[in-house]
């Protein structure tokens, strides 16, 4: 084929392609003109919802802090974005967790499903998550009988790692790391790993001797034994104790106190009174020796140690229930910054 024929063929093909593209653009414009404006808006809104949902499900999820458990790191009503890709997102909300880049590390601020959460049913759970994600945590349809949002997800700090044992000593964390012989303080563990995060305490350390006396006093009251006046005074510092018409003992808190340390002293005294009672002994040993963290779990705790319901109460959390890591705070703007 001669050069002129090649040139003519290329020119013809180019004209056909350009003509096809022009016709396609014209047809698209005509189609847009005929389209219902309402449907056009609905299509745009639906597309935006799908994009937000995909981002929240697989990359970044918005979350609102519901309590004071992470003070001072996070305050009530702080809004944060959680990195869901790092530990592996769920394929669909609530199930089929995918592998991530790594497992949670000590000191990470993590979001996880509360082991104490009572499901409202699989379909409602998925709907609740979808609405929560699409509205960037502004709307939570899962509420209790008083209209308050249930704590489906919790934000805490990863303190105990798999294979370790965690115990409390006068409200302070002590950790027996895997392979070690002795418990070490949280401060020493933080120094070893180069970790910097705050711990807030509301209960004064000088109160613990009185709290121990109070636990002993309640054990004596429950056993219908006489209680010394000094022990009664210490019990009255924290609890109002009374008996009903049938003689049943009741107690109501009247002041802030470390209920875990209180329970430890109470069960220790109860076991000394009834050394054959294995149930009481187990309760005391569980508090004195601490909790073991199995290989597939971790032990999360709030930074506000005296105002946090965490693994000390509901036990270690499955790694598969950890949904993401706190990334940064986007609201309020005055506190904008990374979550550490």
Weakest mean pLDDT among 2-6, 30-34, 57-61, 102-106: 2-6
| pTM for the whole structure | 0.79
Which has the higher per-residue pLDDT, 49 or 335?
335
Mean pLDDT computed over 290-299: 93
pLDDT score, position 113: 87
Which has the higher per-residue pLDDT, 124 or 174?
174
Residue 6 has pLDDT above 60, yes or no: no
What does DSSP assign to residue 200? B
pLDDT score, position 4: 58
**Alpha carbons 78 and 310: distance in angstroms, whole number:** 19
Torsion angle, CA of 203/205/210/214, rounded to 10 degrees? 50
Weakest mean pLDDT among 86-95, 166-175, 232-241: 86-95
pLDDT band at 3; cut points 50, 70, 90: low
Torsion angle, CA of 220/225/227/231, rounded to 10 degrees? -10
pLDDT score, position 225: 92
Instruction: Give the pairing type, strands 153-160 and 165-169.
Output: unpaired
How does pLDDT run across 176-200, given as a tens digit for each residue? 998 888 999 999 999 998 999 998 8
pLDDT score, position 107: 95
Residue 301 has pLDDT above 90, yes or no: yes
Residue 35 has pLDDT above 70, yes or no: no
Mean pLDDT computed over 294-305: 95
pLDDT score, position 290: 85
pLDDT score, position 135: 73
Q: Are 262 and 219 in contact (CB under 8 A)?
A: no
Name the 3-class secondary structure at 203: coil
Q: Are 154 and 292 in contact (CB under 8 A)?
A: no
How does pLDDT run across 321-330, given as a tens digit for each residue? 999 999 999 9
Residue 7 has pLDDT above 70, yes or no: no
- 10 Å Cβ neighbour count for 61? 24
Mean pLDDT computed over 99-127: 84
pLDDT band at 38; cut points 50, 70, 90: low
Q: Are 292 and 46 in contact (CB under 8 A)?
A: no
Residue environment code for 150-176, b if the CB has 16+ CB neighbours within 10 A, otherwise e:
bbbbbbbbbbbbbebbbbbeebebbbb
Domains and CATH numbers, the chain: 55-195+293-338 (2.10.109.10), 205-288 (no CATH)
Residue 269 is inside which H or E element, if any? helix 259-273
CA end-to-end distance (rounded Å), the chain: 72
Residue 15 has pLDDT above 70, yes or no: no
How does pLDDT run across 267-278, given as a tens digit for each residue? 999 999 999 999
């Amino acid at each position: 084929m001669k050069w002129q024929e090649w040139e003519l063929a290329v020119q013809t093909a180019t004209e056909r392609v350009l003509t096809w593209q022009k016709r396609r653009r014209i047809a698209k414009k005509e189609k847009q003109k005929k389209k219902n404006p309402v449907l056009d808006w609905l299509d745009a809104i639906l597309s935006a919802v799908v994009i937000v949902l995909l981002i929240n499900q697989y990359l970044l999820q918005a979350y609102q802090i519901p309590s004071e458990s992470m003070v001072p790191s996070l305050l009530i009503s702080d809004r944060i974005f959680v990195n869901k890709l790092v530990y592996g997102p769920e394929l669909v909300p609530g199930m089929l967790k995918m592998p991530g880049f790594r497992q949670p590390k000590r000191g990470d601020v993590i979001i996880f499903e509360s082991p104490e959460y009572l499901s409202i049913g699989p379909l409602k759970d998925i709907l609740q998550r979808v609405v929560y994600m699409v509205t960037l945590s502004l709307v939570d349809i899962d509420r209790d009988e008083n209209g308050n949002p249930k704590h489906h997800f919790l934000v805490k700090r990863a303190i105990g790692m798999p294979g370790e044992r965690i115990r409390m000593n006068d409200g302070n964390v002590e950790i027996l790391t895997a392979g070690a012989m002795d418990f070490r303080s949280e401060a020493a563990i933080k120094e070893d790993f180069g970790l910097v995060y705050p711990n807030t305490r509301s209960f004064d350390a000088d109160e613990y001797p009185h709290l121990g006396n109070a636990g002993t006093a309640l054990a004596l009251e429950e056993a219908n034994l006489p209680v010394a006046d000094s022990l009664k005074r210490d019990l009255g510092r924290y609890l109002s104790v009374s008996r009903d018409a049938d003689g049943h003992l009741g107690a109501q808190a009247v002041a802030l106190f470390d209920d875990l340390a209180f329970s430890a002293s109470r069960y220790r005294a109860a076991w000394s009174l009834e050394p054959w009672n294995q149930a009481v002994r187990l309760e005391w040993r569980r508090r004195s020796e601490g909790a073991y963290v199995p290989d597939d779990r971790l032990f999360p705790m709030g930074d506000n140690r005296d105002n946090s319901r965490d693994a000390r109460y509901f036990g270690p959390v499955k790694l598969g229930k950890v949904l993401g890591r706190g990334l940064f705070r986007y609201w309020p703007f005055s506190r904008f910054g990374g979550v550490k």
